[in-house]
Structure 1
Amino acid sequence: MADVLPSIDLSDRELREVTRYAAACARPALAIFEHARPRDERPRAAIAAADEFAEGAKRSKALRDRAWAAQRAAREAREVGLSAADNAALAAVAAAGAAFLHPLSKATQVKHILGAAAYAARAFELLADGKAVIGAGYLRQTESIAPPIVRDVLKRYPNAPSGGARVGELVRQLDFLLR
């Protein structure tokens, strides 16, 4: 018989606040993507969908579809060597994905809470020739805007997992800062 993970209490209000935070973390990186791909509105649409959910809209196929569209935009940027734009688009994907945080006590769920901030931080690092100090500075900014409700939700989950290359490191750094 498979192990059953314990469930975490997660209200609609908390889920909406986590999503609002993720969108706020991803939004500044949009400029990076839009500078590189000015006609591609998919990441902006994903963040707008996250904002709509945070304001009371239902989780919907449209929200998921906008996240997938932003994922395709990220892949297309990556394929032409636009790494900073790729990560900026992934921040938008993560913002929309925050609405799908699962109430399972699983470390991988932490990326639903902090992934948007980590991808945005990485985008800013890459824009600055990979300088880690830039990403660390951005994480401090996202720490300063994290509302108590997001910190409380985060503390219900296990610590962020290992792995995930540089974005994984950024997730773990922010996880440490917010706990």
Structure 2
Amino acid sequence: MMIGLDLAELREITAFALACAEPALAIFERRYPGDPRPRAVLDEARVFAGGGKRTNALRMTALAAHRAAKTAREDGHEAAFEAARAAGHAGASAYLHPLAKATQVPHILGSAAGAARAFELDAGDDPGVGTEYIEKAKGLASPVVVDVLKRYPAAPGGGRRAGELLRILDAALRA
């Protein structure tokens, strides 16, 4: 089943994802000051959210941010991994598919969940920090973001703690 989804709504989703991911970028940059990949995707996402086109550069920088995340994970820096992944999700949010599948929900909420997990890990794996950030993300979600989210099935299971944070935000926004 296809879901109605227009470009203005995609821009709103991307603006939300950007606002959620951007504060966590400092966690990645503190560990990898010479790696511009997560910042580059946030810059591209900002252009799209501000009315620009969905360009190949947006897609490519999102993939590059995910590669930066993989590097951080391989190095054992989980907070940096989650921060870079949140940035990658922000860029990928512009490519939310109009398919009524739960697997699309991370395109909407993945950057918030990743950022929350990054902050949690950065604070010594304090779950209260993640829960607090999810509350903040809930406040950043405009009525358009909530409306689009509700067109999709509830978030899928899995994803360890970041997945749990995603499901908490999903349930809170649907309530």
- The alignment's TM-score, normalised by the length of structure 1, stands at 0.95
RMSD value, Cα? 0.7
Q: What amino acid does structure 2 have at the position aligned with 1:113?
A: I
Match of 1:149 among 133, 140, 144: 144
The share of aligned pairs that are identical, in percent, is 57
- The alignment's TM-score, normalised by the length of structure 2, stands at 0.97
Partner of 2:70: 75
Query: What is the Cα deviation at residue 98 of structure 1?
Result: 0.2
Equivalent positions of 1:22-171 (< 5 A) are: 22-171=17-166
Query: What is the Cα deviation at residue 118 of structure 1?
Result: 0.3
Gaps of at least 5 residues in structure 1 are 1-5
Which range moves more in the overlay, 150-159 or 50-59? 50-59
Query: What is the Cα deviation at residue 83 of structure 1?
Result: 0.7
Query: What is the Cα deviation at residue 96 of structure 1?
Result: 0.1
Give the Cα separation in 2 of the matches to 1:61 and 1:174: 30
Gaps of at least 5 residues in structure 2 are none
Residues paired across the two proteins, number:
174
Query: What is the Cα deviation at residue 64 of structure 1?
Result: 0.8
Query: What is the Cα deviation at residue 15 of structure 1?
Result: 0.6
Give the Cα separation in 2 of the matches to 1:164 and 1:146: 22
